[in-house]
Structure 1
Amino acid sequence: MVGGVTGERAYSVFVDPETIENKDGLINSWSKLEFEETQRDDDGLSYKEVLIASDVDCENRTYSYTDS
């Protein structure tokens, strides 16, 4: 699992509109982050993209995600 994705790196975000769902007041979707430069995780593995499962709670104004 890739962690530590921050706004300090140049990347583009692509949201898959076909995955957007409303489940019990949470808006769920999948998106992909594509980095301009190859990234390395703590184990030295390289990657250029990350998949993100997102949950947005509009009522409570919260956002959570799981990255891969």
Structure 2
Amino acid sequence: MRNIDFTDLRENFDSVCNTVNGEKEAVTLTLKSNRKVYIMPEEDYDSIQRFIIPAVSTIDLASH
């Protein structure tokens, strides 16, 4: 799994898209907080069993 940052994503967007969709390789985008966002091929979406999202805020996102 290739790790990228926002600069890499911005400057090499087409290459990153080709890696994800053409080569079927997931990519992780590292945020400033060191959290990671996983970017995966669309065809793999159905194979995701579950998302684990820790409760870090009491804000009700549905009300916004």
Asked if Structure 1 and Structure 2 have the same fold, meaning a TM-score greater than 0.5 normalized by the shorter chain, the answer is: no
Q: TM-score range by the shorter chain?
A: under 0.3
Looking at secondary structure, tell me which structure has more helix per residue: 2
Q: TM-score, normalised by structure 1?
A: 0.26
Q: TM-score, normalised by structure 2?
A: 0.27
Larger Rg: 2
Looking at secondary structure, tell me which structure has more strand per residue: 1
